[in-house]
Structure 1
Amino acid sequence: MKSFLISDDLDTLMGLRLSGIAGELVEDRDKALALLEKKLADPEIGIVVLSSGILHMIEKEVMAIKLKEKKKMIVEVPAVGGKYDSGYITRYIRDSIGIKL
Protein backbone atom coordinates (compact mmCIF):
# COMPACT_ATOMS: atom_id res chain seq x y z
CA MET A 1 0.00 0.00 0.00
CA LYS A 2 1.40 3.36 -1.04
CA SER A 3 0.75 6.92 0.07
CA PHE A 4 0.42 9.95 -2.17
CA LEU A 5 0.55 13.66 -1.29
CA ILE A 6 -1.52 16.38 -2.93
CA SER A 7 -0.03 19.70 -1.86
CA ASP A 8 -0.14 23.39 -2.58
CA ASP A 9 3.16 23.91 -0.75
CA LEU A 10 6.52 23.03 -2.32
CA ASP A 11 8.28 22.61 1.06
CA THR A 12 5.71 20.05 2.21
CA LEU A 13 6.00 18.20 -1.09
CA MET A 14 9.81 18.05 -0.90
CA GLY A 15 9.79 17.04 2.76
CA LEU A 16 7.47 14.11 2.19
CA ARG A 17 9.34 13.08 -0.94
CA LEU A 18 12.46 12.79 1.22
CA SER A 19 10.54 10.37 3.43
CA GLY A 20 9.51 8.26 0.43
CA ILE A 21 6.01 9.61 -0.24
CA ALA A 22 5.32 10.61 -3.82
CA GLY A 23 3.24 13.66 -4.50
CA GLU A 24 2.17 16.42 -6.80
CA LEU A 25 1.97 20.18 -6.49
CA VAL A 26 -1.48 21.55 -7.32
CA GLU A 27 -2.54 25.19 -7.30
CA ASP A 28 -6.26 25.23 -8.05
CA ARG A 29 -9.43 23.57 -6.83
CA ASP A 30 -10.39 21.74 -10.04
CA LYS A 31 -6.97 20.14 -10.45
CA ALA A 32 -6.95 19.13 -6.78
CA LEU A 33 -10.33 17.41 -7.11
CA ALA A 34 -9.35 15.66 -10.34
CA LEU A 35 -6.10 14.40 -8.84
CA LEU A 36 -7.85 13.24 -5.65
CA GLU A 37 -10.38 11.22 -7.68
CA LYS A 38 -7.57 9.74 -9.79
CA LYS A 39 -5.57 8.66 -6.74
CA LEU A 40 -8.63 7.23 -4.98
CA ALA A 41 -9.26 5.09 -8.07
CA ASP A 42 -5.65 3.82 -8.10
CA PRO A 43 -5.58 0.37 -6.43
CA GLU A 44 -1.96 0.83 -5.29
CA ILE A 45 -2.73 3.99 -3.25
CA GLY A 46 -4.05 3.36 0.26
CA ILE A 47 -3.49 6.73 1.89
CA VAL A 48 -4.00 10.11 0.24
CA VAL A 49 -2.31 12.90 2.16
CA LEU A 50 -3.59 16.45 1.64
CA SER A 51 -1.78 19.59 2.70
CA SER A 52 -3.91 21.89 4.85
CA GLY A 53 -4.25 24.39 2.00
CA ILE A 54 -5.61 21.75 -0.37
CA LEU A 55 -7.97 20.40 2.28
CA HIS A 56 -9.39 23.87 2.87
CA MET A 57 -9.91 24.27 -0.89
CA ILE A 58 -11.94 21.06 -1.28
CA GLU A 59 -13.14 20.38 2.28
CA LYS A 60 -16.81 19.68 1.44
CA GLU A 61 -15.90 17.12 -1.20
CA VAL A 62 -13.31 15.45 1.04
CA MET A 63 -15.79 15.09 3.91
CA ALA A 64 -18.34 13.52 1.55
CA ILE A 65 -15.71 11.09 0.25
CA LYS A 66 -14.60 10.18 3.80
CA LEU A 67 -18.18 9.22 4.68
CA LYS A 68 -18.50 6.73 1.84
CA GLU A 69 -14.92 5.54 1.26
CA LYS A 70 -14.22 2.24 3.02
CA LYS A 71 -10.81 1.20 1.69
CA LYS A 72 -8.80 4.39 1.36
CA MET A 73 -7.69 6.87 3.99
CA ILE A 74 -7.52 10.64 3.48
CA VAL A 75 -5.42 12.57 5.98
CA GLU A 76 -4.23 16.15 6.40
CA VAL A 77 -0.67 17.24 6.99
CA PRO A 78 -0.19 20.79 8.31
CA ALA A 79 1.74 23.14 6.07
CA VAL A 80 5.30 24.02 6.94
CA GLY A 81 5.14 26.93 9.35
CA GLY A 82 1.43 26.35 9.90
CA LYS A 83 0.04 27.91 13.03
CA TYR A 84 -1.69 25.42 15.27
CA ASP A 85 -2.26 25.92 18.96
CA SER A 86 -0.95 23.50 21.58
CA GLY A 87 -4.25 21.58 21.81
CA TYR A 88 -4.51 20.92 18.09
CA ILE A 89 -3.26 17.32 18.17
CA THR A 90 -5.51 16.38 21.10
CA ARG A 91 -8.58 17.83 19.37
CA TYR A 92 -7.61 16.18 16.09
CA ILE A 93 -7.42 12.74 17.72
CA ARG A 94 -10.66 13.27 19.63
CA ASP A 95 -12.53 14.44 16.55
CA SER A 96 -11.07 11.74 14.30
CA ILE A 97 -11.54 8.64 16.41
CA GLY A 98 -13.68 9.74 19.33
CA ILE A 99 -11.17 9.13 22.11
CA LYS A 100 -10.99 11.74 24.82
CA LEU A 101 -7.44 12.33 26.10
Structure 2
Amino acid sequence: MRMYLISDNIDTCMGMRLAGIEGVVLHEREEVVAAVRRVVEDPAVGILLITEKLAELCHDVIDDLKLNQKKMLVVEVPDRHGGSRATDALERYVNEAIGVKM
Protein backbone atom coordinates (compact mmCIF):
# COMPACT_ATOMS: atom_id res chain seq x y z
CA MET A 1 0.00 0.00 0.00
CA ARG A 2 1.36 3.43 -0.89
CA MET A 3 0.64 7.12 -0.44
CA TYR A 4 -0.14 9.68 -3.14
CA LEU A 5 -0.06 13.48 -2.90
CA ILE A 6 -2.23 16.02 -4.69
CA SER A 7 -0.69 19.44 -4.13
CA ASP A 8 -1.03 23.02 -5.29
CA ASN A 9 2.60 23.75 -4.45
CA ILE A 10 5.70 22.42 -6.21
CA ASP A 11 7.78 22.68 -3.02
CA THR A 12 5.38 20.46 -1.09
CA CYS A 13 5.38 17.95 -3.92
CA MET A 14 9.18 17.92 -4.12
CA GLY A 15 9.52 17.47 -0.36
CA MET A 16 7.15 14.52 -0.38
CA ARG A 17 8.94 13.10 -3.41
CA LEU A 18 12.18 13.11 -1.42
CA ALA A 19 10.34 10.98 1.14
CA GLY A 20 9.30 8.56 -1.61
CA ILE A 21 5.73 9.77 -2.04
CA GLU A 22 4.56 10.26 -5.61
CA GLY A 23 2.32 13.17 -6.41
CA VAL A 24 1.04 15.78 -8.80
CA VAL A 25 0.77 19.57 -8.73
CA LEU A 26 -2.61 20.95 -9.80
CA HIS A 27 -4.46 24.25 -9.50
CA GLU A 28 -7.93 23.94 -11.11
CA ARG A 29 -10.92 22.28 -9.47
CA GLU A 30 -11.67 20.04 -12.46
CA GLU A 31 -8.08 18.76 -12.52
CA VAL A 32 -8.17 18.04 -8.80
CA VAL A 33 -11.47 16.16 -8.96
CA ALA A 34 -10.21 14.08 -11.89
CA ALA A 35 -6.97 13.28 -10.04
CA VAL A 36 -8.85 12.30 -6.89
CA ARG A 37 -11.06 9.95 -8.88
CA ARG A 38 -8.00 8.35 -10.54
CA VAL A 39 -6.36 7.82 -7.14
CA VAL A 40 -9.52 6.30 -5.66
CA GLU A 41 -9.60 3.80 -8.54
CA ASP A 42 -5.98 2.70 -7.89
CA PRO A 43 -6.05 -0.26 -5.48
CA ALA A 44 -2.37 0.23 -4.60
CA VAL A 45 -3.00 3.63 -2.96
CA GLY A 46 -4.03 3.46 0.68
CA ILE A 47 -3.48 7.05 1.78
CA LEU A 48 -4.36 10.15 -0.22
CA LEU A 49 -2.58 13.31 0.90
CA ILE A 50 -4.07 16.57 -0.34
CA THR A 51 -3.06 20.12 0.55
CA GLU A 52 -5.57 22.11 2.58
CA LYS A 53 -6.04 24.69 -0.17
CA LEU A 54 -7.03 22.05 -2.74
CA ALA A 55 -9.22 20.25 -0.23
CA GLU A 56 -11.13 23.50 0.29
CA LEU A 57 -11.38 23.95 -3.47
CA CYS A 58 -13.29 20.67 -3.84
CA HIS A 59 -14.53 20.17 -0.29
CA ASP A 60 -17.68 18.34 -1.42
CA VAL A 61 -15.68 15.56 -3.09
CA ILE A 62 -13.16 15.30 -0.25
CA ASP A 63 -15.84 15.28 2.46
CA ASP A 64 -17.69 12.53 0.60
CA LEU A 65 -14.50 10.46 0.39
CA LYS A 66 -13.75 10.94 4.07
CA LEU A 67 -17.23 9.82 5.05
CA ASN A 68 -17.85 7.00 2.57
CA GLN A 69 -14.49 5.61 1.44
CA LYS A 70 -13.63 2.49 3.38
CA LYS A 71 -10.37 1.45 1.76
CA MET A 72 -8.49 4.75 1.71
CA LEU A 73 -7.46 7.31 4.30
CA VAL A 74 -7.73 10.94 3.13
CA VAL A 75 -5.44 13.38 4.94
CA GLU A 76 -5.34 17.15 4.48
CA VAL A 77 -1.80 18.50 4.84
CA PRO A 78 -0.61 22.10 5.15
CA ASP A 79 1.73 23.44 2.49
CA ARG A 80 5.08 25.09 3.15
CA HIS A 81 3.37 28.32 4.23
CA GLY A 82 1.63 26.57 7.10
CA GLY A 83 -1.89 25.44 7.70
CA SER A 84 -5.11 27.35 7.74
CA ARG A 85 -5.87 26.09 11.23
CA ALA A 86 -4.99 28.14 14.25
CA THR A 87 -1.70 27.31 15.94
CA ASP A 88 -3.46 26.30 19.13
CA ALA A 89 -6.01 24.04 17.40
CA LEU A 90 -4.74 20.78 18.94
CA GLU A 91 -4.64 22.30 22.39
CA ARG A 92 -8.20 23.60 21.96
CA TYR A 93 -9.45 20.19 20.71
CA VAL A 94 -7.99 18.40 23.73
CA ASN A 95 -9.47 20.97 26.09
CA GLU A 96 -12.92 20.66 24.52
CA ALA A 97 -12.80 16.87 24.27
CA ILE A 98 -11.62 15.93 27.75
CA GLY A 99 -11.57 19.17 29.66
CA VAL A 100 -7.84 19.13 30.32
CA LYS A 101 -6.01 22.41 29.93
CA MET A 102 -2.50 21.98 28.54
TM-score (norm 2): 0.84
Distance 2:6 2:72 in 1: 15
Cα displacement string for residues 40-59 of structure 1 (whole angstroms, at most 9, x for unaligned residues): 11000000000111111111
Q: Tell me, which stretches of 5 or more residues in structure 2 are unaligned?
A: none
Amino-acid identity (%): 31
Distance 1:20 1:90 in 2: 31
TM-score (norm 1): 0.84
Distance 1:79 1:88 in 2: 17
Aligned residue pairs, count: 96
Q: Which amino acid aligns with 2:81?
A: G
Q: Which amino acid aligns with 2:18?
A: L
Query: Could you tell me which residue of structure 1 aligns to residue 70 of structure 2?
Result: 70
Moved over 6 A (4+): none
Instruction: State the superposition RMSD in angstroms.
Output: 1.9
Q: Tell me, which stretches of 5 or more residues in structure 1 are unaligned?
A: none
Q: Alignment partner of 2:86: what SS?
A: coil
